[in-house]
């Protein structure tokens, strides 16, 4: 992997990235990253063209090894690429789904060469969608209590059980699935990780509606579904280790470090439109002004900590525990912004539909509702607090963990 450390080299790469993006990113998609996430299977010509171009370039997975189709860029180069994408309102169409953010990095960590060769190039090119089968009706935060079972049937596994909150399962081609393979072992020790083809009759998905009006979540049922023996990722009955590593990758992807997309409008600009200004051009509402400044300071502190963590992780393949801190701070920043946006809009921030509300006002209330899930998915705030207290601060474990 190339490592461009000097400013001159990085600026040369910036010019290369800018030129390539201007030549390949369709102007019709500018600022539509969120829309594309809802249309992951869309055959809209410009989106198909963009997905193909960035996949062939390898820049949808910029730091992955070139031998699997990745970009082979350094972390610094990838950051520059993200800046240039944001500058023109471009986005990474491969980030919507779990192949790039979770499954792919975990296969890079634990996969055999055969597994890497089979799965990674198709993820890089955006040809397949992945979901993750973790939570169950009776195994949420206590995930190790999972009961979905895979039984050894000689040359394959037979899978039976139920998963819930499987994001994007209805669109997915493959699933990274945690299953119990030794029911007699201690609950953390009898779990394995399988790579399961979703396109088979033994798997049924049922979407779960959310209050925000849109949802990626599903219930997923496995009835004598099958997977070949070579679908095992990592060692048999050591899937808990693989599963935890995937969660580290997930939390790292939820720290606010996503690549590209339309930068959010400055909140003070929006506030002035709705709340007005005083004779000095400042927000007229003094109390709101002070709370907005605090929010902007928190957002800046999060961004700087994120940059520092990325620099410290340079050359280190382990995500570490910093994502647990950053996942919570990203949640606080995003939820606070949503709350402030609704507050400054007043009654206009409560619109669901109709001509009385513009698209930004309707988006604000839906985003506010959707953002409530951030405190839960990818590991709840409470789970992250436990990780921070035990693994970073070194506080004693007072829980009754088995």
- Beta-ladder partners of 151: 158
Q: How far apart are CA 134 and CA 176, in angstroms?
A: 8
Residue 250: active-site member: yes
- Whether residue 107 contacts residue 233, with contact meaning beta carbons closer than 8 Å, is answered with yes
Report residue 109 CA to chain centroid gap.
Answer: 18
Catalytic residue among 250, 312, 339, 353: 250
DSSP labels, 72-104: ---HHHHHHHHHHHHHTT-B-TTSSSSIIIIIH
Q: Which is it for strands 149-152 and 191-197: parallel, antiparallel or unpaired?
A: unpaired
Here the tokens at position 358 are 């513009």
Q: What is the DSSP letter of 374?
A: G
**CA 166, 172, 177 angle in degrees (round to 5)?**
50
Output the CA torsion sign for 35, 39, 45, 46.
positive
Q: Which helix (H) or strand (E) holds 362?
A: helix 359-371
- Residue positions annotated with a catalytic role: 250
């Amino acid at each position: 992997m190339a490592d461009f450390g000097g400013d001159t080299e990085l600026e040369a790469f910036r010019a290369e990235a800018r030129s390539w993006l201007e030549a390949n990113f369709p102007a019709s998609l500018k600022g539509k990253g969120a829309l594309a996430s809802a249309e992951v299977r869309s055959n809209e010509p410009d989106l198909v063209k963009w997905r193909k171009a960035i996949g062939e370039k390898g820049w949808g997975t910029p730091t992955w090894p070139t031998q699997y189709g990745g970009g082979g860029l350094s972390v610094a180069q990838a950051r520059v690429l993200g800046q240039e994408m944001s500058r023109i309102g471009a986005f990474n169409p491969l980030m919507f789904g779990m192949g790039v953010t979770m499954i792919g990095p975990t296969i890079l960590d634990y996969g055999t060469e055969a597994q890497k060769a089979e799965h990674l190039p198709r993820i890089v090119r955006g040809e397949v969608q992945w979901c993750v089968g973790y939570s169950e009706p009776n195994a949420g935060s206590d995930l190790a209590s999972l009961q979905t079972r895979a039984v050894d049937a000689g040359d394959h596994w037979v899978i039976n059980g139920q998963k819930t909150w499987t994001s994007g399962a209805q669109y997915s081609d493959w699933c990274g699935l945690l299953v119990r393979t030794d029911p007699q072992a201690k609950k953390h020790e009898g779990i394995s990780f399988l790579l399961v083809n979703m396109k088979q009759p033994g798997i049924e998905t049922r979407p779960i509606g959310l209050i925000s009006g849109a949802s990626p979540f599903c219930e997923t049922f496995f009835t004598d579904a099958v997977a070949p023996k070579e679908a095992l990722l990592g060692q048999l009955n050591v899937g808990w280790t693989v599963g935890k590593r995937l969660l580290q990758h997930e939390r790292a992807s939820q720290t606010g470090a996503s690549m590209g997309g339309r930068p959010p409008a400055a909140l003070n600009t929006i506030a002035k439109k709705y709340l007005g200004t005083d004779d000095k051009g400042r927000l007229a509402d003094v109390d709101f002004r002070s709370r907005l400044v605090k929010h902007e300071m928190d957002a800046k502190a999060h961004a700087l900590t994120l940059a520092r963590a990325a620099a410290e992780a340079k050359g280190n393949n382990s995500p570490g525990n910093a994502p647990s801190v950053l996942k919570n701070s990203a949640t606080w920043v995003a939820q606070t912004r949503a709350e402030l946006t609704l507050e400054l809009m007043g009654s206009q921030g409560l619109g669901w539909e109709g001509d009385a509300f513009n698209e930004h006002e309707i988006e604000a209330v839906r985003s506010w509702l959707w953002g409530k899930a951030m405190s839960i998915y990818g590991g709840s705030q409470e789970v992250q607090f436990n990780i921070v207290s035990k693994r970073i601060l070194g506080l004693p474990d007072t829980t009754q963990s088995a």
